[in-house]
Structure 1
Amino acid sequence: MNAIWLFMRKNYRVLLLVVAVSAVLWSFKPKFNNDDPEKDKILLDLITYVIEKGHYDPAAMDDNFSKGVYGNFIDALDPSKRFFLESDIKEFKQYELQVDDMLRNRDLTFFNLVYERVQKRMNEAKVIYRALNDKPFDFNTSESINIDSDKIAFAKNYNELKNRWRLQIKLSTLASLVDKQKIEQDKKAKDASYAVKTTAQLEKESRESAIKNLDEYFDFVSDLDRNDWFEVYVNAIVTQFDPHTFYFAPEEKEKFDISMSGKLEGIGARLQKKNDNTEISELISGGPAWRSKELEPGDVILKVAQGSNEPVEVTGMRLDDVVKKIKGPKGTEVRLTVRKVDGDVKVIKIIRDVVEIEETYAKSTVIEKNGKKFGLIYLPKFYIDFENDNNRDAAKDVEAEVLKLKKAGVEGIVMDLRDNGGGSLKTVVDITGLFIDEGPIVQVKSFGGKKDVLADHNPKVQWDGPLVILQNNFSASASEIFAAAIQDYKRGIVLGSKQSYGKGTVQTVIDLNQFKFPGQSNFGDFGALKTTTQKFYRINGGSTQLEGVTSDIPIPDRYTYIGFGERDEKKALQWDKIDAAPYRTSKSILNFESVVTNSQKRISENNQFKLIDENAKWINDRKDESLVNLNIDKFIAEQKNIEESTKKFKEITKYKNLLQIRNLPGELELMKKDADFSRKRKDWYEAISKDAYIDEAINVLGDIKSPLLANKPIPSKKPKLLVKS
């Protein structure tokens, strides 16, 4: 989310940690190739056509639109203002009000100019920063750097640009040097005979590390070609219509489909690029590579062969191209020539299969407190397989988890939707139906004013007992539909951040290849456009757009005083209201007011939440501080002041609740068979044991008086205790 990134950019401590790469974050160095610009022109025609015909509320393509595209594109190229000169911006400026006309005329002059210039400036930047490795920095001089690029202008000339790079790398080196000095002091304290490295030695190590980080980043972005960069330009255009309209190049569309379905066909290994090599970074639990037990993290892929065909060298190849060669249909064979961690070279045969990315899916556990058992369901997104309705989706999985929890004899359920950015509209309707009788779930309004009411038509209720929805600032879209429906029906209690993200729009992914523009058939796949086609409304008529869902019980979090969400997005659609749908509230909670009052009292008296709120105020107070002193004594003094101020906030991470986490039937056996699954589950359970929000959600469940309890058989066997804290 852009809002998260803006906050991160202004957070002093975070920036110090990532300063080595922040200088070029989101900058690209694409390579020139012989692509026919005619394809780019057809792509712009396609996108313009689809938006004009299908977008919910298309913006006028006028001078204001043109200024927005211009600003978006320049910022995407050089957000840290360490590439372009003031003279470049003056040259670009002549096109600021012409982009809209250029789009109509299929004119790529502005794109070509900026693209070629950033190529030139990035090559120059390489020369600049590498030259800075020649001599040590002097940290006794009085210098400072402003780390908020919004507060600085583009460099007036080449010398000023060189100095900007020098200050950036000096800061990166200084931060590393101070950390290394602390490590040396700790080693000396533990071993009096230890020979502490000199400041000069540590400075050299830190400076070389800063340069190496930049080298690795530039090597990474050098893999991007003109098509990748044109995709950035296209998205600078389409996001002028709203922040959720987005163009997917063919490869990106495939990644989007995988993220929504949680599955792919391949070997089940995550890859990363290291210099010219492609390295295995992780094996996906249960996948073919994991099952073969021959590949392991750290292995370097040298060649790829399809079955018995000749192997192809992949050293130096783009990561996306290597991935394409390794992925393939279920049942086919791929042969990887790999250099093992121990240096041995080996050919490994793997039969591709469907790989399920387990962390994408819903999961649940039983929690005991005060002698009562409750269920927790964590849903990371509302996933679905668009290609096959019979495959796994969030609604089927949540229903299965509910049935497991009922069988375990729980007295209430927490649905944890924190950080859930949404997903399929269909699955959210189906999931809400698990908790209510028949009735409307959400209202959807299309372009032109037509309104549809999406409803649950199944009278069966899978869970009619106490229910709590746990949300935060990052709960968006489908998460908000679910929370709003539960809140409007008074079926459960919404607990968490003051309000959710506030995304009240629906997007449709449109395949651009279905249209037949002149010349289109000559250029292969054009990808897809995700565009806003509808707005959704609560059954009470109000939109969640901008306002989100207000928690019945708000709890402090570290972002309480930092404004972000849909309301802080440029070009976001506005809030409005329509007529309510006919619905009846449930009688699920007999003591709603007292439950809220009791929870608010606990929260106000809870030292953990007091500390979290104090930390949030501290973050807000410091968010605009962007000047960093590069004198080592002053830098260390500032660091000590910050550490002293934040020392008490470290207690937040030491919190432990009194929840007892118990395994569901069959889980222990699976954990014994699958070490990776076991590790991930134990990590989740450990996180739960430190989570004050889940603790309070369980307290709320225990307070709810419900006229109906879910039918629950007495469990034949008490689940084994896994974690007790």
Structure 2
Amino acid sequence: MRRNYKLLVLVLLFAAASCSFTTKTFDDPNKDKTLIELITYVLENGHYDAKDLNDSFSKEVYKDYLEGIDPLKRYFYASDIEEFSQYEDKLDDQIKNSDISFFDITHERMVQRMTEAQDLYKEILSQPFDFSKKETFDTNYDEHPYASSKEEMKERWRKQLKFSAIANFYDKKKEQKLALENDPDHEIKTDAELEEEARELTKSSMEEYFDFNDDLERRDWFSLYVNAIVEEFDPHTFYFAPQDKDRFDMAMSGKLEGIGARLQKKNDNVKIVEIISGGPAWRGEEVEVGDEILKVKQEDEKEAVSVVGMRLDDAVSLIKGPKGTKVTLTLRKVDGTLKDVQIVRDVVEIEETYAKTAVVNKNDRTYGVINLPKFYFDMENYSERNAASDVKNEIVRLKEQGMEGLVIDLRNNGGGSLKTVVDIAGLFIKEGPIVQVKSKLEGQEILKDTDPSVLWDGPLVILVNELSASASEILAAAMQDYKRAIIIGSKQTYGKGTVQNVLDLNRWVRNNDLGDLGALKITTQKFYRVNGGSTQLEGVKSDVVVPDRYSYIDIGEKDQENPLPWDQIEAASYTVWDGYIDFEETLSSSKERMAQNDHLKLIQENAEWIRDQRNDTSFPLSYVEYEAEMSRNEEQAKRFNKISEYESNLSYLSLPYEEELFETDTVLAEKRMRWHENLSSDVYMEEAVNVLEDMKMNNIKKSGVALKK
């Protein structure tokens, strides 16, 4: 869809040349006002289904923004909301006029209220909780009114903190009981001592929470306000502040340029929490998990910069950098010593992003499994590593191992590049349409596979669940419409039938002295199946439906705010796959196995139990009642322990090229071992392999009949 993206940019650039974005605007020092003006223009002219900026729109932005910044209603008072309410139906006018006075007043008030809240929690946690007192805490915050007085606000905080502390107290009591069972001489602590420890844990978590919030700057809060505006257009239109855009690019490509370490801020210190396998830090072997970064020095600078107390995002910006450049880190090692370590930055690949492959043998037949976490690609250069090229390479390798059937696992795959979907689908069919796309600017078009070759013409199963979305749904839908694959999974997938493009907002700014304005992910198209139906809201319905823990949780597109509606268009011209596979016989066998599977019945019961637990929002704050409720829940949960204990008697192995990598990369070896163990206890994967076996046998039977004739 690169061509569509470029056309949109050209159209908007042309329009921008004749609209109100003048040099005078960019000379305005108020970057936030310019950002509102720019985003509003782009949305009105580029969004697939642009909303009217009217009083109704204003009220929705007002509601969603306030809910977004104070979801637990523990900062703003009823008097604050009464003061803010004068803006409820005026935000549309403010947006049109690039007026940010509503944001300014709410931001200033939030900073004030958070400061007051810090005093409140410290005061409350300085005194013991009375866990003998009968009272409850309701976590259905939507039904809570805003506090009308300081006394009411303090009481609200007291209950929330007590709710946290009683959970810690319960855990402490359990730990002590277990310790006594293992060691009768274990020192017994009084309830008063355990209560104090529980309170300290709650206090520590609150300190970390407010440390994080103290790092937030005005720009961070303003991004929340901007997104309250843009998400009224649809749930997938989103504003990326500059550093958020970097993270999005990294997530889509699975690559970053830096040292190859994941960082976390704790008590003003930047700590290394993971070394990414294969990255510069991993190769150098001088950096360890647990090391703290004290200073950062660039190769062209004389002085190092202290990152102690610095915002984590700012520290990360100093540490990462272009491939080939050097950075020196002053580390406080795990053993307490100080050490300067120089690292040459490089391109780091996040292995979890990429497709991974395993082989499994059953009844002397070899089957392949490809897990695809997302449809990744490099947004700057599609010819770089992407999901389609990786899947193609893995299929070639699997064929070399004698593969007789293939499972593509798209569970939890939230989507990605549309082009990679078309390329992957083309590996399994001859020429033909894969997906239809409808655009505001270009009308309707059909994206086709134009390569008549078929890389894999054998049995194919696709696994999905409620979190399989967007590009995952395109691939599953296309293979289902062609009767090329059997889809196994949830009743329906996520239901995201829209396409987004990411637009760099800086390209509209002439003589920009405002700094990086970030980017806007904007919905520009809807896609449709080759049969003309839309996956929007309805998703893809599995051929074989199996229960899972998400069955009763509202997590689909239909459960989001402001989704675009479902519709349909005329079907494209396509030819159903002419393989030998008898779909109906295979589906019938699979459904029969599923209906008789006691393990799946237990998963169904677990899903219903999770639903009931989520619907219960009232919790006791007296220990006797809390302990009784936890005990009941734990007894009930024991019934579901068997779910994780399931064994399929199938063993999974890596391909030979990965086995060679394991000799030097023990981290990768451990990750693959864990994945293979999970596959062995995966009832859905077991059924996918069973279906492959049925498809293979049906193929052989049909082939035999054809040969006899």
Structure 2 residue 431 is matched with structure 1 residue 447: no
Question: TM-score, normalization: structure 2?
Answer: 0.93
Is the partner of 1:521 in helix, strand or coil? coil
Report the alpha carbon displacement of residue 483 of structure 1 after superposing the two structures with TM. Answer: 0.3
**Aligned counterparts of 1:93 and 1:531: Cα–Cα separation in 2:** 29
Work out the CA distance in 2 between the residues paired with 1:337 and 1:126.
33
The verdict on how the C-alpha distance between 1:370 and 1:97 changes in structure 2, with shifts beyond 3 A counting, is same
Of the candidates 132, 135, 160, which is equivalent to residue 140 of structure 1? 132
Consecutive unaligned residues of structure 2, counting only runs of 5 or more, are 1-26, 701-709
477-486 or 639-648: bigger deviation: 639-648
1:186 and 2:178 correspond? yes
For residues 141-182 of structure 1, give each alpha carbon's deviation from its aligned partner in whole angstroms, at most 9, with x where no partner exists: 111110121221111211111011111111111111111111
In 1: Cα distance, 2:324 partner to 2:98 partner = 45
8 A Cα contact 1:445 1:534, kept in partner: yes
Find the residue that maps to 2:147 and give its secondary structure: coil
Report the equivalent of 2:353.
Answer: 360
Query: What is the distance in 2 between the residues matched to 1:155 and 1:554?
Result: 47
Is the 2:490–2:547 contact (alpha carbons within 8 Å) kept by the matching residues of 1? yes
Paired residues of 1:369 and 1:658 also in contact (CA < 8 A): no
Q: Within the alignment, does 1:103 sit opposite 2:95 as a pair?
A: yes
Q: Cα distance, 1:594 vs. partner?
A: 1.4
Choose the corresponding residue for 2:645, options 646, 650, 654: 654
Aligned counterpart for 2:499 among listed residues 503, 506, 512? 506
Partners of 2:494 and 2:556 within 8 A in 1: yes
Of the candidates 553, 577, 585, which is equivalent to residue 586 of structure 1?
577
Shift of 1:448: 5.6
1:638 aligned to which of 617, 629, 632: 629
Q: Distance in 1 between matches of 2:637 and 2:292?
A: 42
Match in the other structure for 1:50: 42
Partner of 1:211: helix, strand, or coil? helix
Q: CA separation in 2, counterparts of 1:579 and 1:702?
A: 36
8 Å CA contact 1:374–1:413 kept in 2: the answer is yes
2:656 aligned with 1:685, yes or no? no
Amino acid at match of 1:597: S
Structure 2 counterpart of 1:317, one-letter code: M
Please state how far the C-alpha of 1:338 moved relative to its aligned partner: 0.6
SS of residue paired to 2:593: helix
What one-letter code is carried by the residue in structure 1 that aligns with 2:150?
Answer: Y
1:66 aligns with 2:66: no
Aligned length: 673
Distance in 1, Cα, partners of 2:435 & 2:547: 28
2:613 pairs with 1:622: yes
The AA in structure 2 aligned to 1:437 is K
Mapped contact 1:588–1:707 kept (Cα < 8 A):
no
DSSP 3-state at the match of 1:222: helix
The residue identity in structure 2 corresponding to 1:323 is V
Instruction: Look up the equivalent residue of 1:496 and give its one-letter code.
Output: G
1:644 Cα deviation from its structure 2 partner: 2.1
- Partner of 1:437: helix, strand, or coil? coil
Amino acid at match of 1:647: K
In structure 1, how many angstroms separate the alpha carbons of the residues matched to 2:521 and 2:609? 38
**What TM-score, normalized by structure 1, do the two folds share?**
0.91
For 2:294, the aligned partner's letter is: L
* Greater Cα shift, 109-118 or 613-622: 613-622
Tell me how far apart the structure 1 counterparts of residues 54 and 299 of structure 2 sit (CA, whole Å). 54
Structure-to-structure mapping, 1:302-701, within 5 angstroms = 302-307=294-299, 309=301, 310-447=303-440, 450-516=443-509, 521-588=512-579, 590-701=581-692
Cα RMSD between the aligned structures? 1.4
In structure 2, how many angstroms separate the alpha carbons of the residues matched to 1:589 and 1:276?
64
Question: Partner of 1:198 in structure 2?
Answer: 190
Q: 1:491·1:589 contact (CA, 8 Å) conserved in 2?
A: no
Tell whether 2:200 aligns with 1:208.
yes
Amino acid at match of 1:337: T
The Cα shift of 1:622 comes to 3.3
- Conservation of the 8 A alpha-carbon contact between 2:404 and 2:696: no
CA distance in 2, matches of 1:675, 1:652: 29
Please state whether the residue corresponding to 1:84 is helix, strand or coil: coil
Return 5+ residue gaps in structure 1 as ranges: 1-34, 710-725
1:11 aligns to what? Answer: none
| Secondary structure in structure 1 of the residue aligned to 2:615 | coil
Distance 1:577 1:663 in 2: 42
- Tell me the equivalent position of 1:283: 275
Q: Is the 8 A contact 1:368 1:662 kept in 2?
A: no
Q: Distance in 2 between matches of 1:201 and 1:49?
A: 60
Deviations 1:330-350 (A, max 9, x none): 111111111100011111011
When residues 666 and 449 of structure 1 are mapped into structure 2, their CA distance, relative to the original with a 3 A threshold, is closer
- AA aligned to 1:217 is Y
Residue 500 of structure 1 aligns to a residue whose secondary structure is: coil
Alpha-carbon offset, residue 36 of structure 1: 7.8
- Kindly indicate whether residue 240 of structure 2 is the aligned counterpart of residue 248 of structure 1: yes
- Tell me how far 1:391 sits from its aligned partner: 1.2
Deviation at 1:667, TM superposition (A): 2.1
CA shift for structure 1 position 274: 0.9
Percent identity of equivalent pairs: 54
Letter paired with 1:590: I
Query: 2 CA distance for matches of 1:363 and 1:191?
Result: 45
How far off its partner does 1:603 sit?
0.9
- Alpha-carbon offset, residue 37 of structure 1: 6.4
1:217 partnered with 2:209: yes
